[in-house]
Amino acid sequence: MTVGPVPFMALAAILFAIGLFGALSKKSAVMVLMSLELMTNAVNLNLVAVSRFVTPESMAGQFTAAFVMVVAAAEIGLGLALVLALYRKRRTVELDHIDELKG
């Protein structure tokens, strides 16, 4: 049965929307990072799906997704390290309380 990319893209869109909602509304920094990961993975899914079904000969999407996964891993490591450092300083990871640059 021909499935087509559309279901995958729909799923990616839903995941992306969930991640976006989380990034914008979550109070905890860790939750925001998780939401960002979700968005990234949604994009990966999209890349792979389009690449497999629309241009199967060139594996560009798959390559890019692998690339993105590596970068995302590095990035999340960095992000969590920063959050840890922030927690050590502030004893909190709530974004609303970290606003010292103001004025």
Residue numbers of the site for other proteins (CB under 8 A)? 20, 23-25, 32, 95, 98-103
**Ramachandran quadrant class, 11 (left: phi over 0; alpha: psi -120 to 50; beta: rest):** alpha
57 vs 99 by CB, closer to other proteins: 99
The smaller minimum CB distance to other proteins, of residues 9 and 95, is found at 95
User: Nearer Cβ to other proteins, position 55 or 90?
Assistant: 90
CB of 28 to other proteins, least distance (A): 11
Is residue 55 classed as helix, strand or coil in its secondary structure?
coil
Rg of the Cα atoms in the chain: 17
CB of 93 to other proteins, least distance (A): 12
| Shortest distance (Å) from residue 11 CB to other proteins | 20
The residue type of 100 is E
Tokens 């840890």 belong to which residue? Answer: 84
In whole angstroms, the minimum distance from the beta carbon of 62 to other proteins comes to 25
Which residue, 1 or 101, is less far from other proteins as judged by CB? 101
Residue that has been written with the tokens 């999340």 in this structure? 76
CA–CA distance, 87 with 77 (Å, rounded to integer):
15
C-alpha 5 chain-centroid distance: 20
